[in-house]
Amino acid sequence: MGRLDDRVIIVTGGAQGIGLAYCKGLAAEGAKVVVADIDKAGSEAAVGELGEAGTDALAVVGDVSNPEDTEEMARATMERFGRIDGLINNAAMFQRPAMSRVPFDQIPVEEWDRLMAINLRGVFLCCRAVVPHMKDQQSGKIVNISSGTVYFGSTNLLHYVTSKAGVIGLTRGLARELGDFNINVNAIAPGLTISMDESNDVRSGMNQQRIQARALKRSEVPEDLVGAAVFLCSSESDFMTGQTMVVDGGAQMH
């Protein structure tokens, strides 16, 4: 028996990196997984990999900042599985697509707007698309991915930090609105996580600084975040909502 047997969970940005780790971790606990990603080939490859391991999975292609795409994500999930038990809002602009790391007054306005559209409006739109189905079921788990940069006040990332702070505010407000429908809304704030091929000089230097700031002095990898995601999607977190779990190896303690 898995902790998520037969639950249907959507993971946005699920084709690779941390998102793919979530998909595999949820599947290992018995979930049926919807891999939602703007990368068609990547999402289909992820579903193929999950299918080989025995998981019933669906690839949905779309841009989370586009209302029509998020509605189609929910529609396709309902058509295939008949319910939506969980949503992990993981898709974000950071490495994919890359963003500028510059002082705030050098951030292009167009980049600010695009990042907010993906990182914050995308969370709002995905929640809006799935919540009617969760209300019908009188149950659901929404997990929004924020960032430890919010608590550090990291420099040269103002648009990213601001968007991820907004995710925490959205999580708290939405948790209040949806409590009467037995829908839990929580967030995860990861520390700097090394995934994919992110070993460039700047990234490597940042990682070494973060390692030294942690109580647990090693790199954070995608698999370190899976346990929190599984917990927040399972019945074990039924009386927990509006909270943000910081998973960063003890860099910050709350």
Residues annotated as part of the active site: 160
Residue with tokens 């925490």: 168
Per DSSP, the three-state class of 85 is: coil
Structural contact between residues 246 and 20, judged by C-beta atoms closer than 8 angstroms: no
Structural contact between residues 32 and 77, judged by C-beta atoms closer than 8 angstroms: no
Q: What contacts 82, CB < 8 A, 6 or more positions away?
A: 8
- Cα–Cα distances in angstroms (integers) from residue 46 to residues 6, 24, 88, 215, 254, in the given order: 19, 9, 16, 33, 35
Across-strand partners of 37? Answer: 61
Residue with tokens 């068609």: 40
Q: Which of 130, 142, 145 is nearest to 21 (CA)?
A: 145
Q: In what order do the strands lie in the sheet with 86-89?
A: 57-61, 32-37, 8-12, 86-89, 140-145, 183-190, 244-247
